[in-house]
Amino acid sequence: MELNLNKLVVGLSRALDFMEIDFLGVVSNHSKRVAYIALQTAIVHGMGHKELFDLATLAILHDNGMGKAFQLARDSKAPSQVGPEEHTMNKYDKGPGHCVAGEENVKGFPFLTVPKEVLRYHHENYDGSGFFHVKGEQIPCMAQLIRLADMVELHADLRNIDFAGKHELGVFLAKQDGTTLSPEIVADFWAAASYPAFWLDLKDEFVELALSRLVPRFSTNIRWQDLRKVTRIFSRIIDSKSRFTLLHSQELAERTGRMGAFYGLDDEHIAELQIAADLHDIGKLAVCNDILEKPGKLGPEEIDVIQRHTYYTRISLQSVTGFENITEWAANHHEKLDGSGYPYKKKAADLDFNARLLACLDVYQALTEERPYRGALSHAKAMEILGELVVQGKIDSGIVQDIDQVFGVSNPSNNAKHS
Ligand SMILES: [Fe+2]
Ligand SMILES: [Fe+2]
Ligand SMILES: [Fe+2]
Ligand SMILES: [Fe+2]
């Protein structure tokens, strides 16, 4: 299928901005603004089209490692050291862990050029005083551009910056010149920012459109199987948000593949379904871990928050041309046949076979995983619960029977875990 990579990257940036809101408490659109500033500065710097495209992707993904770094930091502590304030404390930890984790996550991304260690070094200081003590022009140019853009974005309120704000930003950047940032990159930034439109483009209401205009156009004829190289990366980012979902989307995609094979679907259809599985919980990036990992029943206010995640999934995916089916299948995974699901309370007639399949498998996957308030359930116990949901008219009975056949004990290819 013909995929506009530009739209895919911008669409996924919405999801990354959801994560920034939770982890950093920064204003929405952070990654879009960072990408916009880095790109405008890079254009003045003389960067070529393909590199600009890769820079856009990397700038949008610059802090994608925060979820994993947060988990690693917490897991390295003894349980007695982990208090309720832990999440808040680590929200603001932007240490080297997120650089390493971010670099690791984007390995395998089908970049157009060969950018090296851009995310690993996106917090390096020009004078060598950063996390990894890489210095001057040894810091990859893209990493320098992202560093500048990130500092500008975090320092100034770019939603509505006035003349005094720009002057103050100038004073701030002058102090970074040659220490934190390369003098050449700072000069390129000011050349890019000399246009009034630059600042207007950064407003909340315009930044996504401005970024879409700026990212070089690349369309590619890509098979769904090949696109999974990208969406698998996102499934890892999504899963690493919480230690209770470390393999949730990845295993869901794997099980979706097995069910697709059981139904005799062709490879393209299976891969399309697996992309929906990879991305179905992308909206969870916006939900704070205090709720995702609460050891006990959620209260009505918390349920209200967690139920927003499928809406955010839809918002992240719907603008990508070619993702029409994927958006529906992914965003409907908590809808129920009797209209009791969320977020649209859709009914049986609105939910096709693919959406139903993903919804059933998502419940099965969740039940067979550990949760803060219970251990992983056996296949038999999970089937019992799925059976109750069938009786209540909530999920598809035929698909539930097929799940039993594919993942049950009678199927010799299953491992002991699910017996
Ligand atoms: Fe960062
Ligand atoms: Fe950032
Ligand atoms: Fe979900
Ligand atoms: Fe899920």
Query: Ligand 3 centre from 369 Cα, in Å?
Result: 14
Query: Ligand 3 centre from 315 Cα, in Å?
Result: 14
Give the pLDDT of residue 415. 53
Distance (Å, whole) CA 240 – CA 248: 9
H or E element, residue 3: strand 2-4
Query: Ligand 2 centre from 59 Cα, in Å?
Result: 9
Residue 287's contacts (CB-CB under 8 Å, 6 or more residues apart) are 22, 305, 306, 308, 309
Mean pLDDT of the region 228-247: 87
Contact 102, 64 (CB under 8 A): yes
Query: Ligand 3 centre from 350 Cα, in Å?
Result: 18
Indicate the pLDDT class of residue 20, thresholds 50, 70 and 90: low
Q: How many CA atoms lie less than 13 Å away from 217 in the CB half-sphere?
A: 2
Percent of the chain at pLDDT > 70 equals 91
Query: Ligand 4 centre from 282 Cα, in Å?
Result: 9
Query: Ligand 2 centre from 65 Cα, in Å?
Result: 11
Mean pLDDT of the region 289-303: 88
Distance (Å, whole) CA 315 – CA 309: 10
Query: Ligand 1 centre from 122 Cα, in Å?
Result: 6
Closest CA to 99 of 147, 133, 66: 66
Please check the confidence at residue 261 and state whether its pLDDT lies above 80.
Answer: yes
pLDDT in tens, 344-403: 999 999 999 999 999 999 999 999 998 878 889 999 999 999 999 999 999 999 999 999
Mean pLDDT of the region 167-190: 96
Q: What does pTM read for this prediction?
A: 0.83
Query: Ligand 3 centre from 29 Cα, in Å?
Result: 23
Query: Ligand 4 centre from 154 Cα, in Å?
Result: 32
pLDDT in tens, 49-104: 999 999 999 999 998 888 777 777 766 654 444 443 343 334 445 789 999 989 99
Contact 90, 70 (CB under 8 A): yes
Query: Ligand 4 centre from 10 Cα, in Å?
Result: 23
- Three-class DSSP category at 185: helix
Query: Ligand 3 centre from 365 Cα, in Å?
Result: 11
Percent of the chain at pLDDT > 90 equals 65
Please check the confidence at residue 283 and state whether its pLDDT lies above 70.
Answer: yes
Count of CB atoms situated within 10 Å of the CB of 308? 16
Burial code (b: 16+ CB inside 10 Å, e: under 16) for 156-184 equals bebeebeeeeeeebeeebeebeeebbbee
